[in-house]
Amino acid sequence: MSEAKKPEATPAAPAPDAWTKWVALSTTLLAVAAAFSTLKGGSFSTQTQLATVSASNKWSYFQSKSLKQTARETEREIITVVAAGAANPEAKAVALASVAKIEKEIKRYDEEKAAIKLEAETLDAKASYNQARGGNFGMAVMFLQIAIMLSAIAALMKKKSFWLIGLVTGAVGVGYLTYAWALYPEFAPPAAKVAVTSK
Domain range for residue 179?
Answer: 20-183
Most confident of 54-58, 81-85, 93-97, 188-192: 54-58
Residue at 77 is within a domain: yes
Lowest mean pLDDT among 24-28, 44-48, 130-134, 186-190: 186-190
Residue at 101 is within a domain: yes
Q: What is the pLDDT of residues 24-35, one digit of tens each?
A: 999 999 999 999
Residue at 155 is within a domain: yes
Residue at 14 is within a domain: no
pLDDT at 127 over 90: yes
| CA proximity to 184, closest of 139, 119, 150, 144 | 139
* Span 35-63, average pLDDT: 96
d(CA 167, CA 133): 24
d(CA 193, CA 109): 15
pLDDT for res 3: 55
Residue at 86 is within a domain: yes
Residue at 36 is within a domain: yes
d(CA 179, CA 173): 10
Q: What is the pLDDT of residues 179-197, one digit of tens each?
A: 999 999 999 988 765 444 4
Domain count, the chain: 1
pLDDT for res 195: 45
Residue at 3 is within a domain: no
* Span 68-93, average pLDDT: 89
Residue at 9 is within a domain: no
